Amino acid sequence: MNSAESISLLELIRSKYDLLSPAQRVVGNYILSSYRSLAYVTLAELARLTSTGQGTVVRFAQVLGYGSFSNLQSALREEIGKSAPKTLEIYSSKSSKGEDAAPFDTVFEMERTLMDDTYSLINKEDFYKAVRMISDAPALIIAGTGSNSFLSEYAGYFLGTMKKNVTIIKDTDISDMNILLDAPEGTAAFVFSFPRYPIKTQSIVKVMKERRMGIVGISDSVASPIAEYCDPLFIVPQKFISFMDPSAAVVSVIHSVLYGVWLSDKEGCRKRIESRNSLFKGEKVFVSDNVYLPDLTP
């Protein structure tokens, strides 16, 4: 067993630091300080992030004993997995300590904190990649089971309004499996999985991968069981004050992706909405139907 197999990546970088060239040390220092955000970094991306070259990154991996960048990438993911929380993280509230604090003080404080944390983790390249995948796909399957099913309903309702061939899966019965099996080539998927990670979601995402679907994922950690199947994966940190999942941050990420899809094809979305409205002409679908929502978007 060589050193790269028996020693953790971070320990290996520190122990072989003196053997690294100046450029390789830049790569090492970047990994030491930012490894938690590098689970899905590519060779080209790591070279760009460190202002070095792809050859430098490959040689860095070789000096550490990994032999190739793909082995270094695996070590990065293992390191991240070890650092991820293994139990649900409890939110420590400041507002709840005040005498006049109400439950909504604690909840709003926590949700604002999680939204700020989530915002800082969004990568623009990943965001636009997700928008392109969803916009360009001939069909889209949205999956979320158990307590995550309302997320798939939210995303599915509005995406179904904007584009055709959008299907929601919330279970693993025969009809759901048929949707996966009958999906046309090029189908994209949008998947949600948060603690405590429903097993049904895991079954669904495995079939999606076997069917070679591009999968956009939203979960709480790179150690999430759906992480290895998703590219891109958006991280929405989770903290708890009860058994109920916080949702403001994840819905904001979904909303952002949906808005990106709308902006990518505003004219096509408008036509679809107009066609849908014409089908219900004369029907009283809404209490107030005199507001034409698409015109409110610049």
Q: How high is the pLDDT of residue 32?
A: 86
Q: How high is the pLDDT of residue 57?
A: 96
In degrees, to the nearest 5, what angle opens at C-alpha 203 toward C-alphas 197 and 209? 110
pTM of the model: 0.71
Peptide bond between residue 232 and the one before it cis (omega within 30 degrees of 0):
yes
Domain regions of the chain by residue span: 3-83, 95-264
Amino acid at the residue 211: R
CA neighbor of 171 nearest in space, from 136, 139, 143: 143
Our measurement of the distance from residue 217's CA atom to the centroid of its chain's CA atoms, rounded to an integer in Å, reads 4
**What separation in angstroms does the CA of 206 have from each of 18, 139, 199, 211?**
43, 18, 11, 9
Its sign, for the CA torsion 211, 216, 218, 221, is positive
**What separation in angstroms does the CA of 150 have from each of 113, 169, 193, 224, 234?**
22, 11, 11, 19, 18
Fold of the 95-264 domain: Rossmann fold (3.40.50)
Q: How high is the pLDDT of residue 288?
A: 60
pLDDT in tens, the chain (298 residues): 344 455 788 889 988 999 999 999 999 999 987 887 787 788 999 999 999 999 999 999 999 999 999 999 989 888 877 766 556 778 887 766 667 788 899 999 999 999 999 998 888 889 999 999 999 999 999 999 999 999 999 999 999 999 999 999 999 999 999 999 999 999 999 999 998 889 999 999 999 999 999 999 999 987 788 888 898 899 898 989 888 999 999 999 999 999 999 999 999 988 888 887 777 776 666 656 555 555 545 5
Q: Is 69 left (phi over 0), alpha (psi -120 to 50) or beta?
A: alpha
Quick one: tokens of 22? 């100046």
Q: How high is the pLDDT of residue 162?
A: 92
**What separation in angstroms does the CA of 123 have from each of 38, 76, 129, 234, 235?**
11, 18, 10, 8, 10
If you write DSSP's letter for every residue of 103-140 in order, what string do you get? Answer: HHHHHHHHHHHHHHHHHHH--HHHHHHHHHHHHH-SSE
Q: Does domain 3-83 have CATH number 1.10.10.10?
A: yes
